[in-house]
Structures are given as structure tokens and as C-alpha cells.
Structure 1
Amino acid sequence: TRTVSTKLGAKSFRIHDVVTNEGFDTTKFMLLYHCNIGWPAVDEGAEIVSPSRFVAPRDAVAEDGKEKWNKLDAPTHKYAEKCYYHDMAGDRNGAVTCAIVNDGFKRKGDPFGVYITYNKKQLPRFVEWKQMGEQDYVVGFEPCNCGVEGRHIDEELGLLHSLRAGESREVDIEFGPITTKAELESIRDACAKVKTELVGSYKEFVKKP
């Protein structure tokens, strides 16, 4: 079941999902939220701001230019999508906030961006999907409890989640705009406290503490 909520006068909204195994047997449980963000947050010169402890390219395509995982380019002809795995640092309650910020898009002198906040205890992993194509110009934020290599890979690595018969899991995600310098500085300051390390592969990435 899903509940979507906001407050009077608020800029943000929240979703609360409850996923229940209504069957009679334990079942595998892979859950990924594909949250697409586009213009005006996504633009040439915009950047991803996140409390990323470790970042790993998914494949050889993403390996090329991995140092620019957080930088966004202008729409590019025949751009090949790139995916990066992130291990995020959550606060004491597990909350993680990450954003895309476009300092070049000024609204009354303030920057513009979009953020999401999710709970790492509910969704321990995160995938960045970057597509800088001329037609498909978008960045996907993907908080999840799995990888995107396929069920067999997570099972092989001992990372596949499951739900017992009748068991439920809850997920909470907040979405909102960044429209003031103070909001942006708050997110940037929190993320700046986290040192990011680039690692070589998904299998190396999942072994990180």
C-alpha cells in the first residue's frame, strides 16, 4: 500500500510504502525506486551533492570518466548511459539526503535543485543512473535494497533480501525542491563531512564496511 502526503504550505511531499508478502512461502525481495530528475535541475554545470562514502562504476562505460560521477554535461549526441553504485552515510537515524543542484539556474538570485531523503536502514543501497543524451536527458536517483546486476548476482554474493509469509517492510522517501542558498548550504555542509572513495567494481564495492 502507498500513502502520499504533504503539509499545508510545504514545498515537499512524502511517500510511505508498505510491502507485504501475502503468499504462504518466503519470497525473494528486491526493491528499487527509480526517481527521474530533469531540467532545470539537470543542466550543463549542475552537480550531484551526496554523502557518498564509496562510489563504484557499474561497467567499463561508467569506468570511463568515473572521476566526474557527480558532474553533469550538456546534452550529448549518442551518449551511453552510466550507472554508479553509492554507499551513503546516513545520520544517526539512517536518514540520507542527496540532491542535484544547478547554480546556473537563478531564481531571484537563488540556486535551484531537487533533493530526496530516504532511510538507509530501509534501503541500504543507492544507484545513480546518468543519461546525458540529447533526447533522454535525465538523472535517476535509485535508492534500493539490491544491485542492478540481476537476482543471481546478489544471491551469489549473499546479499539477496527475502520476505517471510505475512512479513511487511516499510519505506519512506521525501522529495522536494531546493530554492534558497540556506537550503543548499545545509545539504552541502552535511555532505562535505563525508569523504568519497572511488572503488573498482560492484563486487569490490559490496565488500566495503
Structure 2
Amino acid sequence: MTYCNLSDARRYAGSMEQLADARLVELAEGPGRGSRLIEFRNGSGLAFTVAPDRGMDLVDCSFRGIPLVFRAPAGYVSGERYEPQGTGWLRSWQGGLMTTSGLRNAGVPDGEHGLHGRASHLAAEDVGIRRGASGGSYRLEAVGTLRESAMFGEYLQLERSVSTGFGDNSITLCDTITNLAPREDYLELLYHCNFGYPFASPDLEFEAPPHEVVPRDAEAAAGLAEWDRLDEPAPDYREQCFFHKLPEGRIAVLNRKLGVKVTLVWNTDVLPDFVQWKNCLAGAYALGLEPTNASLRGRSADIADGVARRLAPGEAVHTRLEFHFETI
């Protein structure tokens, strides 16, 4: 809860910027030099960044001053450093609250499509920040548009809105993906949400209704009984992935020691599947929670099996992903 309402804020504050704000800044050094960031703070403990030059991804995030997300070793990296072949994506992956995987491949490399596709390395245009009162609340919103396109080839457009509000400890991400090409295409989409230390630790608990959990491979099968427990960091740990057959698009994780709970909510009409990435490797300790429409086996396999979402010329789909942060 916030410490005052909008009416009181207007009576006491010279500007809402002293309580809640979103501002556009630019990185001045390192491999991310020149990249834009939008820094949000909502006035009651939630702070996060959006990276317009990296797919409008959500990167840093903290609640009540507690860091929540996993950040990859590369740090902030310019999208121009993208290595599209094979697993080169990992060299410039920033980690963070949500990395966009897609738009034409999500999962393993597949021919010309590298690991997790190009979306996270695309720079947004029509970037803007909106601030103002709406329906008795004060809202903060960032918008931007991405294009994954090629002459004689694909033309997918993603329009994204990321918003929060004064005293509203949640983030709402809304996407509209449109096929602007004159031919059919296939959409592969995965929202790679990454939690890290100190929030992600052996103290972390999952909150979900009873449901089926399917291991991706033999490594995951060996750890199936403990899918909902994070291990102590180990130097030889091998990542495990699990597919969750959830009855609805909702799952929560909480750390009672820190007194923080995070709930993810998404629309299952476009994102019918959910993947958990468990990586208890020392020095790279991370938990991935990933709403998706992909199998992770690559674009070709998903098209052949009828998994990939068909998009007719001019067709658009809409996704909504929410993060809710609570004190427990």
C-alpha cells in the first residue's frame, strides 16, 4: 500500500515526480553505451527499468529495496552486439525481469533462427512515456513498437505498453503482434521472466493449484520430485526445465524470509503453455517462469507439429502479462 492517496498527493506535493515517475535516460559507458532506458518508480517500493533498444524488455526490478531478478554476466548490452548464430544470444543476454523471446523462434537454435530469436535485440521506435491521472489513480506508461522484418521475407510488428501506477505494486505488459507481410507466418513467443538472489534462493516457495508437471529431458526427470524447491548453488549443476499444465494462467513465488510474494498472470488463449527454468548453478543462480506458445524444440519442429501459432496476412494477436508484488 502507498503512504498517501492521489488526493493527498496533489494537496501536499509540488509535483507528482517527487512521489512517482518514469524517465528516459541513456547509458554513458560499457557495452550498453548509448542505449536508452526508462526508469520507473511507483512511490510505494516498486522500481524497474524498460529497455527500448533491447526489445522493450523489463530489466532491473526491486521491491521495497530488495533485488528480485537475475542479471546475466554481460550486464547492459547494446542490441548491436547481437550474435544471431547458434547460441550467440547468450553473449549479450541481459537477464532481468522479462526478456522477450521470439518473434519467429523461441527455444533452441533452428537454421537461420538463433536461440530465442531476434526480438530481444530489436530497437523500438515511437517510444514514449505517458504520465497522468486516470479513473482516480495516477498512471505511468511506456510505449514502443518493434519490427522483425526482411526484404522479400517476414514482417511482424510488436506494439508494447508497460504500465504501473502510483501506489499500485504491479506491472502490466500488453502486446499486440501483427503480421504485416502479404503472406502467412508463424508466431513463436515466450516471455522469459527471470528471478534471482536474494529473492530466488532455497527459501523460495511456489504457490499453484495441483497440476501436471512434465520434465523436458532426463536431467529434469531426475529432479521432478523437487521441481518446486531450489537447491543450494553447485558448481556442476545442470539446468532443468519443466512444462506445467496449469488450469489457469497464474502462478506465484514467495520468499517468507524476505516477506515478498510475486504473482504472474497471463492470457492463455495466445500463451497456452508454461515453462519453468531451474538453474542452481553457482555464479548463475536463476529461476525462469515463462508463459509461451512454443515447445522450445525450435520453429521447424513447432510448425511441423502444428504447435506454432499461424498468423494470416493482417492478423493480430494480443497478449497480457501482469506482475503483482506483495508484502507477506
TM category, shorter: 0.7 to 0.9
1:130 matched to 2:278: yes
1:29 matched to 2:187: yes
2:256 to 82, 98, 103: 103
Which SS does the other structure have where 1:130 is aligned? strand
d(CA) in 2 for partners of 1:125 and 1:62?
Answer: 17
**Which letter does structure 2 place at the counterpart of 1:2?**
R
Greater relative contact order, per chain length (Cα 8 Å cut-off, separation 6+): 1
1:113 to 258, 261, 270: 261
TM-score w.r.t. structure 1 length? 0.77
Q: Give aligned-pair identity as a percent.
A: 35
Which SS does the other structure have where 2:318 is aligned? strand
**Which letter does structure 1 place at the counterpart of 2:251?**
C
Other-structure match for 1:175: 323
Deviates more, 1:113-122 or 1:166-175: 113-122
d(CA) in 1 for partners of 2:185 and 2:289?
Answer: 26
d(CA) in 1 for partners of 2:304 and 2:206?
Answer: 31
TM-superposed deviation, 1:176: 2.5
Q: Which runs of 5 or more residues in structure 1 are unaligned?
A: 91-95, 106-110, 181-209
**Number of residue pairs matched by the alignment:** 170
**Residues 40 and 176 of structure 1, relative CA distance in 2, 3 Å threshold:** farther
CA distances 1:1-31 after superposition (whole Å, capped 9, x unpaired): 1001112211111010000111110001111
Backbone CA RMSD of aligned residues: 1.4
2:199 to 15, 26, 41: 41
TM-score w.r.t. structure 2 length? 0.50
d(CA) in 1 for partners of 2:261 and 2:235?
Answer: 25
**Which letter does structure 1 place at the counterpart of 2:234?**
T
| Deviation beyond 3 Å, 4+ runs, structure 1 | none
1:79 matched to 2:79: no
**Which letter does structure 1 place at the counterpart of 2:314?**
G
Whether contact under 8 Å (1:52, 1:87) holds in the other structure is no
Other-structure match for 1:158: 306
d(CA) in 2 for partners of 1:98 and 1:41?
Answer: 16
2:292 to 144, 167, 173: 144
CA distances 1:25-75 after superposition (whole Å, capped 9, x unpaired): 000111111010112321113122223522100011111121111111221
Which SS does the other structure have where 2:212 is aligned? strand
